[in-house]
Amino acid sequence: MLKFHDYNIVFQEVPEEVTLAVNISNCPNRCAGCHSPHLMEDTGDILDENSLEILLKKYGDAVTCVCFMGGDSSPDDLLRLSKYVKKYNKKTAWYSGKSELYESALPCFDYIKLGAYFKELGGLSAPTTNQRFYRIENKMMIDETDKFWKKTDNSVS
């Protein structure tokens, strides 16, 4: 059973999408330096089709994507919920702390982030990160991690 701690409307977790990010608790990964250590606890409200329906109706067309931030503790439940979200014509994303893709996840998501957080390597915004962000297209994982890296123009006029 999945539980969620909270949710937000975000603009950076999935490039070019207005995203409903659902922060799932009971994370088994225990990454050192995690920016959300409270999500390691088994707390929050049950995340199921009913709770998702409430959120999806609340935000309607204002969001284009639902991103599950976590869910590694119960991936089968997460896959089921991703399929449910698709009924609302929303894209889906999964931020997983695992280094490899859960076997049956590929057809269920439009985007997947893989990789534990290592403070010395940085998160997705650091070019040195071990984490990878993929867009899924035609059952292929297309690495779009570089979309998180800030481009700077250091040229002198």
Which pLDDT value is given to residue 28? 85
Positions of E strands within the chain: 2-10, 19-24, 45-47, 65-69, 91-95, 111-114, 132-137, 140-143
Average pLDDT over residues 107-113: 95
Amino acid at 151: K
What's the pTM value of the predicted model, to 2 decimals?
A: 0.91
> Looking at the domain assignment, is residue 13 inside a domain?
yes
Q: In the chain, how many domains are there?
A: 1
- Interval 6-31: pLDDT, tens: 999 999 999 999 999 999 999 888 87
- Beta partners for residue 94, in sequence order: 68, 112
State residue 139's pLDDT score: 86
Tell me the pLDDT band of 103, cut-offs 50, 70 and 90.
confident
Domain presence at residue 8: yes
Enclosing domain of residue 137: 2-147
Q: pLDDT of 57-96, one tens digit each?
A: 999 999 999 999 998 889 999 999 999 999 999 999 999 9
Tokens of 29: 């990964």
34 pLDDT higher than 60? yes
Summarize pLDDT for 134-156 with one digit per residue, the tens.
999 998 999 999 999 976 555 55
In a domain, 155, yes or no: no
Report the pLDDT averaged over residues 90-109.
92
Alpha-carbon distance values, 124 to 41, 103, 114, 143 (Å): 24, 23, 10, 12
Q: What is the CATH number of the domain that holds 93?
A: 3.20.20.70
Answer whether residue 6 is part of any domain.
yes
Q: Is the pLDDT of residue 157 over 50?
A: no
Whether 157 is in a domain gets the answer: no
Share the mean pLDDT of the chain. Answer: 91
